[in-house]
């Protein structure tokens, strides 16, 4: 499990064994049951997450309806808006599956930063990379239909469709669950 974390970090900076041990001594690892809510709307939080195993999702509740906007799975890092904003959260975060993740708060990060300047470099690289990735995702979303989005997702994250309830997937694609069912039936028809 720890290897997953270090494998991720090694994409951005290389750590000595001392540095690795320093990180391990922070005791960041947590096990969370399916259905657990990590963050609620209106809450203030300092916690960032890194998913080692399992799946967590971000969703809003708008007019009483859940609107899922993101799924984070193995090797995905998530810093909620409210941590950057220092404002109450506008959304919920909860576990789709039993999940193992690291939880780190701002104080810890400041402490790591002061001991290991490398860490700051990693954060800069990471947020630059995420910015570009997200911009590409957004562009793809804007320029394609729900059906294309679904086919796209099948290619890019083939596992996700199996792991996640359809109604959550539907709202992630910007449509209603009924439309997703219909759309899938339509695709099968075309193929067969």
Give the residues lining the site for a second copy (CB under 8 A): 60, 62, 67, 69, 81, 84-85, 91, 120, 123-124, 127-132, 134-139, 141-143, 171-172, 174
Q: Answer with the entry of a second copy, DNA, none that 143 interacts with (C-beta below 5 to 8 A by kind).
A: a second copy
Q: Is 174 in the site for DNA (CB under 7 A)?
A: yes
Q: Answer with the entry of DNA, a second copy, none that 180 interacts with (C-beta below 5 to 8 A by kind).
A: DNA
Q: Is 144 in the site for DNA (CB under 7 A)?
A: no
DSSP classification of residue 17: H
d(CA 6, CA 29): 13
Nearer to a second copy, 6 or 12 (CB): 12
d(CA 148, CA 132): 21
Element (H, E) at 108: helix 106-115
Q: Answer with the entry of a second copy, DNA, none that 181 interacts with (C-beta below 5 to 8 A by kind).
A: DNA
**Identified binder of DNA from the candidate list 147, 151, 152, 187, rule CB under 7 A:** 147
d(CA 133, CA 131): 6
Q: Answer with the entry of DNA, a second copy, none that 177 interacts with (C-beta below 5 to 8 A by kind).
A: DNA
The number of beta carbons lying within 10 Å of the beta carbon of residue 135 is 10
**Identified binder of DNA from the candidate list 61, 166, 172, 189, rule CB under 7 A:** 166
Structure token digits, residue 36: 């657990």
Shortest reach from residue 12's CB to a second copy, in Å: 14
**Identified binder of DNA from the candidate list 6, 22, 118, 177, rule CB under 7 A:** 177
Structure token digits, residue 153: 């997702």
Q: Answer with the entry of a second copy, DNA, none that 85 interacts with (C-beta below 5 to 8 A by kind).
A: a second copy
d(CA 132, CA 116): 26
Contact of 4 with 52, CB cutoff 8 Å: yes
Stretch that binds DNA, among 25-33, 53-61, 102-110, 169-177 (CB under 7 A): 169-177
Helices and strands: H and E segment counts in the chain: 9, 8
Partnered with residue 60 across adjacent β-strands are: 67
Task: Give the footprint of DNA on this chain (CB under 7 A).
Answer: 145-147, 165-167, 174-186
């Amino acid at each position: 499990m720890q290897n997953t974390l270090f494998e991720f970090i090694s994409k951005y900076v290389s750590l000595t064994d001392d540095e690795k041990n320093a990180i391990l001594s922070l005791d960041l690892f947590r096990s969370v049951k399916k259905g657990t809510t990590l963050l609620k709307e209106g809450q203030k939080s300092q916690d960032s997450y890194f998913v080692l195993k399992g799946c967590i999702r971000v969703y809003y509740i708008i007019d009483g309806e859940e609107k899922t906007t993101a799924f984070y799975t193995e090797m995905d890092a998530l810093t909620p808006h409210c941590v950057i904003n220092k404002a109450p959260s506008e959304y919920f975060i909860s576990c789709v599956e039993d999940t193992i993740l690291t939880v780190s708060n701002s104080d810890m990060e400041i402490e790591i930063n002061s001991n290991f300047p490398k860490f700051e470099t990693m954060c800069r690289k990471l947020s630059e990379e995420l910015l570009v990735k997200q911009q590409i995702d957004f562009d793809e979303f804007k320029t394609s239909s729900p059906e294309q989005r679904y086919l796209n997702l099948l290619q890019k994250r083939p596992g996700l469709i199996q792991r996640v309830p359809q109604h959550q997937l539907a709202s992630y694609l910007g449509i209603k669950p009924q439309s997703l069912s219909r759309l899938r039936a339509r695709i099968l028809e075309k193929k067969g």
